[in-house]
Amino acid sequence: MIPMAEKRRCDLALWTKGPVPETVVRYHDRRWCKPEHRDGELFAMLVLEGMQAGVSWSLILNKEENFRRAFDGFDPKIVAAYDGQKVEELMQDKGIIRNRSKINAAIANARAFLKVQAEYGAFDSFIWSFTDGKTVDHHLSDAKDMPAKDELSEKVSAELKKRGFKFVGPTIVYSYLQGIGVINDHCVFCEFR
């Protein structure tokens, strides 16, 4: 565990039950709400957010390296080519979330992701176009004020669904936009803004 009192942070107890794992602290401090522009990581976060539906984010973070291994480093070109045999292999992998719908969604999303890349030159250009390349900062005074979704996540969700993406409802997309830094929901007092 990382000592929580060293610096002022958002209320990470909202992210998990019980003691806050080091993986959650590291994610909050180094990645959450930080602008991400590398297409590989944009795809990785899309898969991880889809896998998180119905389970805790701390569980996903604890299994992240397993997901990266199982999904070939989240290379969308490789994932897009997965077949039924690969799906069955993933269904046997105890290191990841073994949910057939989520696995199939990751494959469908890889295919849709590649189409967006071809159209925009980079998925980064597409996803950041919703905010003209700027981060939306909600200047939250309390993490309890953080919405589960908003107008932006509803708009992005609708566009992703139209393009064939799966597991991209407005709540998952809101979390995704936070995860890639399009939305900054660090509390105003947080030293990791």
Q: Give the residue extent of every domain in the chain.
A: 37-184
pLDDT of the residue at 2: 47
CATH number of the domain located at residue range(s) 37-184 in this protein: 1.10.340.30
Query: DSSP code of 21?
Result: P
pLDDT of the residue at 1: 44
pLDDT of the residue at 12: 85
Buried b (16+ CB within 10 A) or exposed e, 69-78: ebbeebebee
Low-confidence ranges of the chain (pLDDT < 70): 1-5
pLDDT of the residue at 139: 96
Average pLDDT for the chain: 95
d(CA 111, CA 88): 19
- How many alpha carbons lie under 13 Å from residue 42 in its C-beta half-sphere? 19
% of the chain beyond a pLDDT of 70: 97
Are 166 and 104 contacting, i.e. CB atoms less than 8 angstroms apart?
A: yes
Catalytic residues: 27, 49, 57
